[in-house]
């Protein structure tokens, strides 16, 4: 009996050390929580588990503790199983959501297919981790001590920006998130100390997806062009949830700026791609942006074309793509014809268009989306 007790104490002590080690590692991983969310989860769960067992086994059987005391042989296998299930569910979720989004994106370029998928899964991961919808997750406020995710963002209710079905699908993920958060909260180092520097909170960047930008252009058309339309008008016309005047203003500013002086800085990359532009109601847009066909490559001239021309200007972004090849005349009063614009997100579901960037990777991949490949 005494022997048993001493073994128990020994095991408990080792378990405690193990927990300490785990917690230290967790603190280290915490820095990379964006890159290693599952890893963090794993460690957190291990800690939890050991803690639970160290308390339970105090009254229960003595031998159960050996699970924790054996650091190297990894006898806490259930954790691994949990990890696997999490991973599985998450990947399947991603795929489903991707499909969903694929449908939303009317113009789907098969050439970018794999890239798109990567991109989407990439940013979806981020969205899952960073833009947790609050109705499903009351504890959302405690989600991830991300220094860049400010209380302001949280209070804005980012669920607006997420597709509804996506919310549903990611619910499983969130449950594990909640678990993790609870355990994180009891970690004293998580909140305090080192990573508290960014007090000047910034709004999370808004990514102007092609859809959103299309909406923006559509609004511009209806309102009489980029030099006539005002941010407020545009915002009201776009009817996009959560879109602020400032954001529209900023976007408009950039848009004007970039169409005033198109990307001359990039003369002609050796791989001189010919960019097809379409004049749509006085706006120069890449043909692919408004061709209804699935494939935008080659000389696909769909019925919507008014005039086509080519330019050797290499475009680098959404604004550049919109820039007219010859010198534009501003302000001018074009007769904007709204009917030409293919507004895929027509009217009703504004939420689907909006997405928040969570990582630079997203912005860059999104950018690729704008660029037309011929």
Q: Would you tell me which residues interact with DNA (CB under 7 A)? A: 148, 198, 200, 202-208, 230-233, 245-247, 249-254, 256-258, 263, 265-266, 316-320, 357, 359-360, 363, 367, 370
Residue 316 backbone dihedrals phi, psi, to 5 degrees: -120, -5
Query: CB of residue 328 vs DNA: minimum separation in angstroms?
Result: 14
Q: Who contacts 34 (Cβ-Cβ below 8 Å, separation ≥6)? A: 126, 129, 130, 146, 359
Phi, psi of 277, deg, nearest 5: -115, 150
Cβ-count burial 298-322 (b if 16+ within 10 Å, e if not):
eebeeeebeeeeebebbbebbbbbb
Contact 326, 260 (CB under 8 A): no
Considering the complex, state which of residue 54 and residue 144 has its C-beta at the smaller distance from DNA: 144
Contact 172, 93 (CB under 8 A): yes
Report in angstroms the alpha-carbon separations of 278 from 46, 167, 308, 323, 340.
Answer: 58, 37, 5, 11, 11
C-alpha distances (whole Å) from 334 to each of 43, 165, 227, 306 are 61, 41, 11, 14
Element (H, E) at 356: strand 355-356
Residue 43 or 234: the one with the smaller Cβ distance to DNA is 234
Give whichever of 50 and 248 is closer to DNA, judged by the CB atom: 248
Beta carbon of residue 49, minimum distance to DNA (angstroms, whole number): 34
Instruction: Identify which of residues 139 and 249 has a Cβ nearer to DNA in the complex.
Output: 249
Q: Which is nearer to DNA, 45 or 324 (CB)?
A: 324
Other beta carbons less than 10 A from residue 16's beta carbon: 15
CB of 218 to DNA, least distance (A): 17
| Closer Cβ to DNA, 69 or 126, answer by number | 126
Provide the minimum distance between the beta carbon of 24 and DNA in the complex, in angstroms, as a whole number.
27
Least distance (Å) between residue 174 CB and DNA: 23
How many residues would you count in the chain?
374
Q: Report in angstroms how near the CB of residue 339 gets to DNA at its nearest.
A: 25
Find the shortest distance in angstroms from Cβ 329 to DNA. 15
**DSSP-based three-state secondary structure for 245:** helix
Measured from the CB atom, the residue of 198 and 274 that comes closer to DNA is 198
């Amino acid at each position: 009996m005494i022997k048993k007790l001493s073994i128990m104490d020994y095991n408990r002590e080792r378990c405690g050390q193990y927990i300490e080690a785990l917690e230290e590692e967790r603190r280290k991983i915490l820095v990379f929580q964006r890159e290693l969310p599952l890893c963090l989860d794993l460690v957190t769960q291990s800690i939890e588990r050991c803690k639970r067992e160290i308390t339970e086994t105090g009254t229960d059987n003595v031998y159960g503790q050996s699970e924790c005391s054996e650091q190297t042989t990894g006898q806490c296998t259930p954790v691994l199983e949990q990890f696997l299930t999490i991973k599985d569910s998450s990947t399947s979720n991603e795929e489903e959501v991707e499909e969903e989004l694929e449908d939303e994106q009317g113009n789907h370029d098969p050439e970018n297919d794999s890239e798109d998928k990567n991109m989407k899964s990439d940013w979806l991961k981020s969205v899952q981790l960073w833009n947790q919808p609050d109705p499903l997750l009351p504890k959302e406020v405690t989600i991830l001590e991300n220094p860049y995710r400010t209380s302001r963002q949280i209070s804005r209710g980012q669920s607006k920006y997420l597709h509804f079905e996506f919310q549903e699908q990611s619910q499983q993920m969130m449950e594990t998130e909640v678990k993790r958060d609870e355990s994180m909260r009891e970690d004293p180092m998580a909140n305090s100390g080192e990573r508290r520097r960014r007090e000047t909170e910034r709004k999370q960047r808004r990514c102007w997806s092609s859809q959103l930008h299309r909406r923006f252009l559509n609004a511009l058309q209806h309102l009489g062009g980029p030099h006539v339309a005002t941010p407020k008008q545009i915002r009201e016309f776009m009817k996009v949830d959560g879109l602020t005047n400032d954001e529209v203003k900023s976007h408009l500013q950039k848009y004007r700026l970039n169409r005033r002086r198109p990307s001359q800085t990039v003369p002609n990359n050796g791989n001189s791609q010919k960019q097809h532009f379409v004049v749509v109601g006085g706006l120069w847009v890449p043909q692919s942006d408004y061709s209804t066909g699935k494939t935008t490559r080659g000389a696909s001239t769909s019925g919507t074309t008014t005039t086509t021309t080519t330019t050797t200007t290499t475009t680098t972004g959404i604004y550049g793509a919109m820039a007219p090849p010859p010198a534009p005349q501003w302000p001018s009063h074009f007769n904007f014809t709204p009917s030409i614009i293919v507004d895929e997100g027509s009217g009703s579901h504004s939420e689907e268009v909006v997405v928040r960037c969570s990582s630079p990777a997203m912005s860059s991949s999104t950018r690729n989306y704008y660029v037309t490949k011929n």
